């Protein structure tokens, strides 16, 4: 990234931090319930799902792409995990490992469509979104698979630990999100692959001329996005003790919103994972605050849409 790009990102990131602080202070002042420790931990626990998906989405968007298949991947791998546990009696740890492999492969499909078949990212992931959602409904027959953390299933405590337990008082999903953040931050900022991801998003032709295999980079980022969505799905089905066929609907919207708010350019090549984390927290605080204040859920979607619009217009104005 150029020095000018870094300054633009820092300015937008600073603006996002200020917005987050103002939002937290305002809600803490309005609602005593908001500022309780239990609510803060609950807010962060809820943010972890979007955080994991948004981290993967950020890496995809940095290459100039977008991944609309994250919600359906979450739903399909969650349903498959639940089905393996409840219907097939497969030990939970084995079911989780299989689900992670399936999530990687589902991500690979999107990456191959974009990187090898050269479809537009929007079209390619719209296809995967539709197909994966349909497969989930076929597999579940439109019905939830419940009771997946019941003690009768071998290793059920592993799945329960992923979504419901705590370590030193900190909910496990928050710890998982923190670990994912650190690993992807290192990937983007300390490795040659990270530099290649930025290079592909900045100027793909130049990246090719400099010897970067842009197709492989694209396959990798969609694979990573698939993995992040799968981990988020495992957390969700653990918390719900059930895999719903419509799980993850609209989650791509929240992930894109968090990424845009954090200052990542929708054109690729510019953005930071720290910005996405701030965006995730803004979305979580907004949702939590609106729930506490009893704001209609439909209106919440309108607010999120307007936040995305504001973030994207702000990015355009700075280009």
182-192: pLDDT as tens digits: 999 999 999 99
Percent of the chain with pLDDT over 70: 93
Name beta bridge partners: 146: 242
Count the residues in the chain: 319
Q: Which of 60-74, 112-126, 278-292 has the lowest mean pLDDT?
A: 278-292
Q: Which residue has the tokens 């907004």?
A: 286
Average pLDDT score, the chain: 89
What is the CA angle 297-301-304, rounded to 5?
Answer: 130
106-161: pLDDT as tens digits: 999 999 999 999 999 999 999 999 999 999 999 999 899 988 888 888 888 999 99
Rounded CA-CA distance 198/89 in Å is 44
Per the CB < 8 A criterion, the answer to whether 60 and 70 are in contact is: no
- Residue 2: pLDDT band with limits 50, 70, 90: low
pTM of the entire predicted model: 0.90
For the record, the structure tokens of 53 come out as: 């998906």
207-237: pLDDT as tens digits: 999 999 999 999 999 999 999 999 999 999 9
Checking if the pLDDT of 196 tops 90, the result is yes
Checking if the pLDDT of 22 tops 90, the result is no
Q: Which residue has the tokens 């740890």?
A: 93
Region 305-315 average pLDDT: 72
Rounded CA-CA distance 38/35 in Å is 9
Q: What pLDDT is recorded for position 286?
A: 85
């Amino acid at each position: 990234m150029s020095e000018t790009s870094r300054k633009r990102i820092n300015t937008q990131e600073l603006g996002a931090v200020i917005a987050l602080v103002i939002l937290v202070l305002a809600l803490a002042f309005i609602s005593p319930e908001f500022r309780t420790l239990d609510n803060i931990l609950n807010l962060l626990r809820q943010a972890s799902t979007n955080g994991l998906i948004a981290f993967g989405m950020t890496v995809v968007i940095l290459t100039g792409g977008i991944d609309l298949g994250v919600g359906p991947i979450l739903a399909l791998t969650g349903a498959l995990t639940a089905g393996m546990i409840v219907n097939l009696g497969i030990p939970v740890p084995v079911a989780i490992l299989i689900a992670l492999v399936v999530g990687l492969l589902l991500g690979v499909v999107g990456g191959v469509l974009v990187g090898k078949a050269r479809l537009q990212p929007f079209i390619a992931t719209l296809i995967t979104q539709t197909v994966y959602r349909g497969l989930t409904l076929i597999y579940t027959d439109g019905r939830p698979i419940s009771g997946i953390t019941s003690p009768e299933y071998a290793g059920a405590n592993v799945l329960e630990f992923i979504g419901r337990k705590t370590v030193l008082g900190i909910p496990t999903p928050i710890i998982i999100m923190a670990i994912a953040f650190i690993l992807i931050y290192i990937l983007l900022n300390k490795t040659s692959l990270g530099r290649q991801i930025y290079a592909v998003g900045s100027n793909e032709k130049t990246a090719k001329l400099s010897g970067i295999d842009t197709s492989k980079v694209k396959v990798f980022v969609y694979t990573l996005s698939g993995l992040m969505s799968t981990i988020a799905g495992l957390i969700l089905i653990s918390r719900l003790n059930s895999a719903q066929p419509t799980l993850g609907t609209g989650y791509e919207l929240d992930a894109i919103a968090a990424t845009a708010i954090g200052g990542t350019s929708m054109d690729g090549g510019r953005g930071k994972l720290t910005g996405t984390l701030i965006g995730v927290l803004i979305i979580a605080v907004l949702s939590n605050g609106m729930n506490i204040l009893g704001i209609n859920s439909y209106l919440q979607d309108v607010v999120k849409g307007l936040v995305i619009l504001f973030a994207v217009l702000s990015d355009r104005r700075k280009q």
